[in-house]
Structure 1
Amino acid sequence: MHYYAEMALLFLLLAVPTSPGAAFDVDPLKPGQAWQYPKDHKVVNVREANSISSYKAMISEVHSFGVRASKYKEKGLPILARQTSTPKPDRWLMLELRGDGQDEIMLAIRNDNLYIEAFANSSGKWHTFAIIRNLIPGATILPFKDSYRGLVNGHANLGTLVLGKETTLRALHELAVYKQSVGADTGCVSRALAIMAVTFCEATRLKPIQASIQPKWLSGGATIEKPLYVVRWSDMSCAVLVARQKKGRYDGPEADKLKNELGMSSLNEVVGALSLILWPKDSSCDSGPITWPRA
């Protein structure tokens, strides 16, 4: 099959807008569901993602959602919508993932930073974090924080995650069947959320993460060699934005961190690692305020 025809078919099969599954109640006229709007709703059948190009297609679809509200680019990279401090973003990506049997979940992903803020299990029950406990009426509050420290006891432990299609399916199953109870072991579900965040969100933000997972999507065994990339996405983004204001100079606190911790000696190396640029909260970086772009 011709490459472009194959890719078109993959998008049709794996990640197209569709009506929500029966388990997910998303009637905007119901007060308890109004938090979900506005949104994009995408469906991905992970079990049917049977090629490396199918994984690439999934990431491209998440990327397309992120850049939908993008008004600016720098160095050819889309800048996400301005990051807000509110629990509800300007727009959600409701990413519906289907796995084996009846396994089906929904991830609520922000458009301004691609963070996962909540998930619904196969019965449609929403689970979210304490920091936004009032956003979703009736949601179960997860007993861990919405950070990699809360999910896997620190970003360094992202390097212990074994990634690929089968791992993603197992993580999907853990979330699909999760029902919180007193004394239950929550380690599996927190780790499952970390796998989803890395596989879909970090891989969309950062080229090295996608490059680690994509070749081993089918065979499995992918690992993140430099987990620090994940927590330095904001600094990478700021370095690019600040350089624009400094006539291309690569210096300041962000650049120092990237040089010392990741060995990124030039702005070109930073640009080469990014797929999306984060617009920081309050347009503020360690180097000072970002005077462009403007909301």
Structure 2
Amino acid sequence: MALLFLLLAVPTSPGAAFDAWQYPNDHKVVNVREANSISSYKAMISEVHSFGVRTSKYTEKGLPILARQTSTPKPDRWLMLELRGDGHDEIMLAIRNDNLYIEAFANSSGKWHTFANIRNLIPRATILPFKDSYRGLVNGHANLGTLELGKETTLRALHELAVYKQSVGADTSCVSRALAIMAVTFCEATRLRPIQDYILPKWLSGGATIQKPLYVVRWSDMSCAVLVARQKKGRYNGPEAVKLKDELGMTSLNEVVGALSLILWPKDNSCDSGPITWPRA
């Protein structure tokens, strides 16, 4: 059976029917178990990328700029990414259109869970005892390098989330780690080419790791570097450039552009180099 991608008007379980907080949205269904090739993993990433591009109005250096980030927990549009694994394992990830952050998940019974720092996002949701940052998920971005990535790891993480039921005093490290795996496998790999390149060759064999976790936390700086350079006639010499040169060895703007698949619109149009005058809402 081919890898399943569908754009649907209403979801299947989990979730049964969309609640008001979930609109507007795109709903995609992905069967991870049937992703039996490198090309099928690339197809999954392409679907998430297409969602981000759908609400993009601008490009720079051939790269789509995501929609302007809202100042509220609810974005202008959601991607409801329904993932199917082994047996009856199904989950739904609620992903923002303006930065591709995972803000909530539903287990196989359709019960929504969200994070401690956005507890008012979803009515009647279970509140997880950690925040939606990598510090909350794995005690800091550096620990992303300890995650083993690939198809089977993704399926195990999917299972952890599918069967998760919060109980008082229970260890939540498995579910937080599972969410980190989902974030890297689907979202970081969509934003950043090096992350996708780490995972692709080992999607089936497993054991992929992020060699430079700093790529993840410097996505905003990379995005700013490209937008600032547009204002400065191509110059790559601001505070963002200094960080990228020192920490990731990115000595040219072309290297930055080559690492990006999507550009993040800076919050409040603000970068370390100063305000961004383009794009404008």
TM-score normalized with structure 1 length = 0.91
Number of residue pairs matched?
Answer: 281
CA positional deviation for 1:163? 0.3
Unaligned runs of 5+ in 2: none
Name the residue aligned to 2:16.
22
Name the residue aligned to 2:69.
83
d(CA) in 2 for partners of 1:101, 1:83: 37
d(CA) in 2 for partners of 1:16, 1:128: 21
* Cα distance change on mapping 1:88 and 1:109 into 2, 3 Å: same
d(CA) in 2 for partners of 1:187, 1:177: 14
CA positional deviation for 1:132? 1.5
* Cα distance change on mapping 1:69 and 1:273 into 2, 3 Å: same
CA positional deviation for 1:134? 1.1
* Cα distance change on mapping 1:18 and 1:60 into 2, 3 Å: farther
In 1, are the aligned partners of 2:90 and 2:108 still within 8 Å (CA)? yes
Q: Does the residue aligned with 1:109 lie in a helix, a strand or coil?
A: strand
- Percent identity (aligned): 93
Tell me the alpha carbon deviations over residues 94-139 of structure 1, each in whole angstroms, 9 at most, x when there is no partner.
0000000110000000000000000000010000012221110000
Name the residue aligned to 2:193.
207
Q: Which deviates more, 133-142 or 197-206?
A: 133-142
In 2, are the aligned partners of 1:15 and 1:44 still within 8 Å (CA)? no
Unaligned runs of 5+ in 1: 1-6, 27-34
d(CA) in 2 for partners of 1:153, 1:9: 34
Q: Which deviates more, 211-220 or 190-199?
A: 211-220
CA positional deviation for 1:183? 1.0
Q: Which deviates more, 16-25 or 212-221?
A: 16-25
CA positional deviation for 1:241? 0.2
Name the residue aligned to 1:32.
none
CA positional deviation for 1:84? 1.3
CA positional deviation for 1:169? 0.2
Q: Does the residue aligned with 1:150 lie in a helix, a strand or coil?
A: helix
Q: Does the residue aligned with 2:2 lie in a helix, a strand or coil?
A: helix
The 5 A counterparts of 1:52-131 are 52-131=38-117
d(CA) in 1 for partners of 2:116, 2:137: 14
Q: Does the residue aligned with 1:58 lie in a helix, a strand or coil?
A: helix
In 2, are the aligned partners of 1:206 and 1:273 still within 8 Å (CA)? yes
In 2, are the aligned partners of 1:23 and 1:124 still within 8 Å (CA)? no
* Cα distance change on mapping 1:24 and 1:99 into 2, 3 Å: farther
d(CA) in 2 for partners of 1:288, 1:233: 17
CA positional deviation for 1:215? 1.0
Q: Does the residue aligned with 2:28 lie in a helix, a strand or coil?
A: strand
In 2, are the aligned partners of 1:14 and 1:48 still within 8 Å (CA)? no
In 1, are the aligned partners of 2:3 and 2:34 still within 8 Å (CA)? no
TM-score normalized with structure 2 length = 0.95
Q: Does the residue aligned with 1:135 lie in a helix, a strand or coil?
A: coil
CA positional deviation for 1:252? 1.0
